[in-house]
Amino acid sequence: MAKRTIVSLPGDGIGRAVLEETIRVLDAAGFEADYIEGDIGWEFWKEEGNPLPQRTIDLLEKHKIGLFGAITSKPKDAAFDELSDSLKEKGLVYSSPIVGLRQHFGLDICMRPCHSYKGNPLNFIRRGKGDDIEEPEVDVVIFRQNTEGLYGGVEWSNPGQQVYDALMTHPKFVSNFGETPKEEVSVSTRIFTKKATSRILKAAFEHAKNFGYKSVTVCEKPNVIRETSGMMYKMAQQMQKADYPDIELWNTNIDAQMMWLTKNPEDYGVIVAGNMFGDIVSDGFAGLIGGLGFACSAQFNPDSGVGVFEPTHGSAPKYADYETSIVNPIAMVESACMMLDFIDEKEKATKIRKAVAEVISEGKVRTYDMMKMRGKADVVENGAASTTEMADAIIAKL
């Protein structure tokens, strides 16, 4: 197979440490690639006023596959304060570069698997019948619509007159907010389109079919958010009936789902949701399998073949400057395995996943989170593995 070029996007904070260790693991698994680094993140916001420079977009346009660490985002005012002085007059507004990447490339399918590893001391346990302790096996794949909904960016504070007038045409706006002065109104929209909704549903059903999951659960709130959630569930019903009669379609509300996920997580298979609820439910399930150190994701556009693979954790700034990095690289390594699946290097992905599973089940090498320590610079002295040591252990198994 021809050598691939991968765009590495370390970003901020711990993003670089986990990405560097992951590339070592990929090398050790025999994946032959050239890595070209793309600029992204806070530094580029401060210095250039753009956390996602055009040159980075061009790189991804050309090479199609990105491995992304994490970025730091800060609220509007803090972002403005840190902008270099020469840029402060330019009226620039910060927006998240990873959300920008998703929208620019139409990476509308986000896939977040959460499966428990044997022997992970962070696995969720519960009390069963007769007071015994049970450890349910979680094997869930969340499909999150990645470009629309509450993350679509269509929002206003003190909206312009045209927007306000349009809102005032809605009887519910008039009755609930009509008395509030316009200057005191902030609006974030939740827009779903049929096209994107159909694509995420189809991706979910296809995955269930191809990997033998018995159910697809739409996790929204159709009884209250009737237009958007309601549309998603209705379309799911039609799709299931027409194309996937052997797969059960379940419907849960996001709030109830967050309660049920600790009661019966083993009952769920594929879950599909809009952008915000998909983000929430995937973090919820990630908590059952070890938390952010284990939560991986893929986001891609099936038409263009552009894909960006990233752990779901952020840049964890408080750990970024430790001389020895202490964070768990497994979420990033597993994200890289999803990249390998996507570019048809499945054998190497399987090999790495097996190595990770062995390291976890053996239990000799554990990062601080797996030892239930508080993340401090001295955890390595106290017996926790560093980021590098965890990668070394995975490599040794390869």
The answer to whether the Cα torsion of 321, 326, 330, 333 is positive or negative is: positive
DSSP character for 2?
P
CB-nearer residue toward Mg ion: 219 or 394: 219
Q: Which residues is 24 bridged to in the sheet? A: none
Minimum Å gap between C-beta 314 and Mg ion is 8
Candidates 100-108, 203-211, 306-314, 342-350: pick the segment binding ligand NAI (CB under 6 A).
306-314
Interface of this chain with Mg ion, residues 269 to 288, rule: CB under 5 A? 279
279 interface partner picked from Mg ion, ligand NAI, none, CB below 5 to 8 A per type: Mg ion
DSSP character for 183?
G
Residue 288 to residue 230: CA distance in whole angstroms: 28
Minimum Å gap between C-beta 183 and ligand NAI is 28
Residue 167 to residue 372: CA distance in whole angstroms: 49
Minimum Å gap between C-beta 39 and ligand NAI is 15
Q: Indicate the SS3 state at residue 262.
A: helix
Interface of this chain with ligand NAI, residues 68 to 97, rule: CB under 6 A? 70-73
| Residue 249 CB neighbour total at 10 angstroms | 20
DSSP character for 87?
G
The answer to whether the Cα torsion of 110, 206, 106, 258 is positive or negative is: negative
21 interface partner picked from ligand NAI, Mg ion, none, CB below 5 to 8 A per type: none
17 interface partner picked from ligand NAI, Mg ion, none, CB below 5 to 8 A per type: none
Sorted by sequence, the CB contacts under 8 Å of residue 323 that are 6+ apart come out as 377
Candidates 87-95, 150-158, 216-224, 307-315: pick the segment binding ligand NAI (CB under 6 A).
307-315
Q: Is residue 232 within the footprint of ligand NAI (CB under 6 A)?
A: no
Using CA atoms in the order 9, 15, 18, 21, what is the torsion angle rounded to 10 degrees?
40
- Write the interaction track for ligand NAI spanning residues 315-334; mark x where CB under 6 A is met and - where it is not: xxxx--------xx--x---
CA-to-CA separations, 389 to 54, 376, 392, in angstroms, rounded: 36, 16, 5
354 interface partner picked from Mg ion, ligand NAI, none, CB below 5 to 8 A per type: none
Residue 83 to residue 73: CA distance in whole angstroms: 13
Interface of this chain with ligand NAI, residues 34 to 63, rule: CB under 6 A? none
Interface of this chain with ligand NAI, residues 92 to 151, rule: CB under 6 A? 98
In 3D space, the residue among 201, 266, 191, 275 whose CA is nearest the CA of residue 233 turns out to be: 201
CB-nearer residue toward ligand NAI: 57 or 163: 57
Q: Is residue 293 within the footprint of ligand NAI (CB under 6 A)?
A: yes
Residue 88 to residue 263: CA distance in whole angstroms: 51
CB-nearer residue toward ligand NAI: 94 or 205: 94
Size of the site for ligand NAI (CB under 6 A): 20
Contact residues for ligand NAI (CB under 6 A)? 18, 70-73, 98, 292-293, 310, 313-318, 327-328, 331, 369, 375
Positions touching Mg ion (CB under 5 A) are 279
